[in-house]
Chain A
Amino acid sequence: MKIPYYPGCTLHERALDFDKASRECANVLGVELEELPIWTCCGAVFPLTTDSVMEILAAVRNLAYAARMGDKVVTLCSFCYNVLKRTNKVMREDEERREKVNLFLRADTETRDKTESFLKKDYVGQVDVLHYIEMLRDVVGFDEMAKRVKTRLEGLRVAPYYGCMLLRPHGEMKFDEHPEQPTIFEEFLTALGCDVVDFPMKTECCGGFQIVRDEETAIACSQTVVSSAVKRDADLIITTCPLCLYNLDRKQKEMEKRVNGFRKIPVIYFTQLLGIALGIDDEHLDFSDNYVDPRPALAEKNLV
Chain B
Amino acid sequence: MRLRLSREVIKDDLVRRVEDLSGQNIAMCYQCGRCSAGCPVVDEMDILPSEVIRLLQLGQIEEVLDSKTIWICASCLQCASRCPRGVEFSSICDALRAIVLRRRIATPSVDAGDVSRVMVTDAPQMGVVGALRKLNG
Task: Determine if chain A interacts with chain B.
Answer: yes
Alpha-carbon distance between A43 and B95 when the two chains are bound, in angstroms: 18
Q: Is the CB of B76 within 8 A of A164?
A: yes
Q: Does B119 contact A (CB under 8 A)?
A: yes
Q: Does A214 contact B (CB under 8 A)?
A: yes
Q: Does B35 contact A (CB under 8 A)?
A: no
Q: Does A185 contact B (CB under 8 A)?
A: no
Q: Is the CB of A43 within 8 A of B78?
A: no
Q: Is the CB of B21 within 8 A of A51?
A: yes
Residues of B within 8 A of A (CB): 20-23, 40-41, 43-44, 71-72, 74-78, 80-81, 88, 90-91, 93-95, 98, 109-110, 115, 119, 122-135
Q: Is the CB of B109 within 8 A of A213?
A: yes
Q: Is the CB of A208 within 8 A of B133?
A: no
**What number of A residues sit within 8 Å (CB to CB) of B?**
47
Q: Does A41 contact B (CB under 8 A)?
A: yes
Q: Is the CB of A48 within 8 A of B78?
A: no
With a cutoff of 8 Å between Cβ atoms, the chain B residues found around residue A9 in the complex are 125-126, 129
Q: Is the CB of B98 within 8 A of A49?
A: yes
With a cutoff of 8 Å between Cβ atoms, the chain A residues found around residue B123 in the complex are 14, 211-212, 243, 246
Q: Is the CB of B41 within 8 A of A77?
A: no
Task: Give the nearest-CB partner of B43 in chain A.
Answer: A220
* Interface SS of A by simple majority: loop
Q: Is the CB of A41 within 8 A of B74?
A: no
Alpha-carbon distance between A15 and B21 when the two chains are bound, in angstroms: 34
Q: Is the CB of A45 within 8 A of B88?
A: no
Q: Does A47 contact B (CB under 8 A)?
A: yes
Q: Is the CB of A213 within 8 A of B40?
A: no
Interface string of A209-240 (1 = CB under 8 A from B): 11111100110110010000000000000000
With a cutoff of 8 Å between Cβ atoms, the chain B residues found around residue A221 in the complex are 40-41, 74
Alpha-carbon distance between A204 and B71 when the two chains are bound, in angstroms: 19
From known contacts A209-B131, A217-B44, infer whether A50 and B81 are also in contact, taking CB-CB under 8 Å.
no
Alpha-carbon distance between A126 and B28 when the two chains are bound, in angstroms: 34
Residues of A within 8 A of B (CB): 8-10, 13-15, 41, 43-45, 47-51, 55, 77, 79-80, 164, 167-170, 179-180, 203-205, 207-214, 217-218, 220-221, 224, 242-243, 245-246, 250
With a cutoff of 8 Å between Cβ atoms, the chain A residues found around residue B44 in the complex are 214, 217
With a cutoff of 8 Å between Cβ atoms, the chain A residues found around residue B129 in the complex are 9, 41, 43-45
With a cutoff of 8 Å between Cβ atoms, the chain B residues found around residue A44 in the complex are 125-127, 129-130, 133
With a cutoff of 8 Å between Cβ atoms, the chain B residues found around residue A164 in the complex are 74-78
Partner of A179, one of B40, B81, B115, B133: B81
Looking at the assembled complex, report how far the CB atom of B14 sits from the nearest CB atom of chain A, in whole angstroms.
Answer: 14
With a cutoff of 8 Å between Cβ atoms, the chain A residues found around residue B90 in the complex are 48
Q: Is the CB of A8 within 8 A of B126?
A: yes
With a cutoff of 8 Å between Cβ atoms, the chain A residues found around residue B93 in the complex are 48
Task: Give the nearest-CB partner of B92 in chain A.
Answer: A48
Looking at the assembled complex, report how far the CB atom of B132 sits from the nearest CB atom of chain A, in whole angstroms.
Answer: 8
Alpha-carbon distance between A295 and B70 when the two chains are bound, in angstroms: 41
Given contacts A48-B22, A49-B95, A50-B21, 10 further A-B contacts (CB under 8 A): A14-B125, A43-B133, A44-B127, A45-B130, A49-B91, A49-B98, A208-B74, A209-B131, A210-B72, A221-B74
Partner of A210, one of B81, B88, B94, B131: B131
